[in-house]
């Protein structure tokens, strides 16, 4: 179960919240990009970045020169992941909505300095984007590792919110001659496009060609 804190307690639409930790894992494990919120020089900054999960720890990475990563290391952060599953088209503008799955994680990010944990965090990030890729490609060099910052964030304080189903219209609006319903949004992978300078004879690996 997810812990309940003042920051994770929903103020509105409480029925859309979930305290099931497996729902948190599902939102995170099926995503590709998170948004990292930090405070830099007294001002909020939100940046999109890749991430990966190992157990109850979220790993994020970026350039050691990035302001967001420097501010996030040891500082208070907020990370969000959102999936839009469809547009909910109602009979009134006011009742339009989204079907979605979202997660918010609060905490103090930790700058990862242990070499072994850094590699494991980068592996989790790579596998989140393309499962099987870490073992397929060249591992990072010392120079590349020196230019990369890795942050670790505990999933201890997190909230999950979801919406499913059709529109919730006002009772008097159901008689309007207006189409209402859900327009699903489905994201799918296309066919792999080879690099223009890729030598002949190198086939698309199975873990890429078989991606669903």
Contact 52, 69 (CB under 8 A): no
pTM, two decimal places? 0.91
Q: What is the DSSP string of 156-180?
A: SEEEEEEE-SS----GGGGGSS---
Instruction: Give yes or no for residue 49 having a pLDDT over 90.
Output: yes
3-state secondary structure of 31: coil
Length of the chain: 212
Percent of the chain surpassing pLDDT 90: 81
CB 109 within 8 A of CB 196: no
**Stronger pLDDT, 64 or 211, i.e. the higher one:** 211
* Domain boundaries along the sequence of the chain: 14-169+179-209
In the predicted structure, residue 15 carries a pLDDT above the cut 90? no
In this predicted structure, the answer to whether residue 115 has a pLDDT above a threshold of 80 is yes
pLDDT, tens digit, 9 for 90 and up, residues 163-206: 999 999 999 999 999 999 999 999 999 999 999 999 999 999 99
Whole-number Å distance between alpha carbons of 16 and 202: 48
Residue 43: pLDDT above 80?
Answer: yes
Residues 6+ apart with CB under 8 A from 199: none
Cβ–Cβ < 8 Å for 17, 160: yes
pLDDT tens for each residue of 51-65: 999 999 999 998 777
| Residue bearing tokens 């497996």 | 22
Domain 14-169+179-209 has CATH 2.30.110.10: yes
CA 139 to CA 39: how far, in whole Å?
32
When pLDDT is cut at 50, 70 and 90, the band that residue 69 belongs to is low
CB 36 within 8 A of CB 46: yes
Residue 37, token pair as written in the block: 């919120």
pLDDT band of residue 72 (cuts 50, 70, 90) is low
Closest listed residue to residue 58, CA positions, set 160, 162, 132, 158: 158
């Amino acid at each position: 179960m997810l812990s309940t804190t003042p920051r994770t307690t929903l103020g509105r639409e409480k029925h859309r919240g979930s305290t099931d930790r497996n729902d948190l894992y599902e939102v995170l494990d099926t995503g590709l990009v998170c948004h990292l919120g930090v405070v830099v020089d007294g001002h909020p900054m939100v940046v999109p970045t890749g991430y990966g999960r190992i157990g109850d720890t979220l790993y994020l990475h970026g350039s050691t020169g990035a302001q967001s990563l420097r501010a996030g290391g040891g500082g208070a952060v907020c990370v969000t992941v959102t999936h839009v599953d469809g547009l909910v088209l109602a009979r009134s503008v006011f009742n339009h909505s989204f079907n979605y799955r979202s997660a918010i994680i609060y905490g103090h990010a930790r700058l990862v300095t242990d070499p072994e944990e850094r590699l494991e965090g980068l592996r989790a990030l790579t596998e989140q984007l393309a499962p099987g890729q870490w073992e397929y490609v060249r591992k990072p060099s010392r120079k590349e590792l020196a230019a990369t910052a890795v942050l670790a964030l505990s999933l201890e304080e997190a909230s999950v919110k979801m919406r499913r189903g059709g529109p919730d219209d006002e009772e008097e609006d159901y008689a309007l001659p207006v189409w209402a319903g859900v327009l699903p949004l489905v994201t799918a992978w296309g066919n792999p496009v080879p690099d223009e300078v890729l030598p002949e004879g190198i086939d698309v690996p199975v873990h890429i060609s078989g991606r669903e």
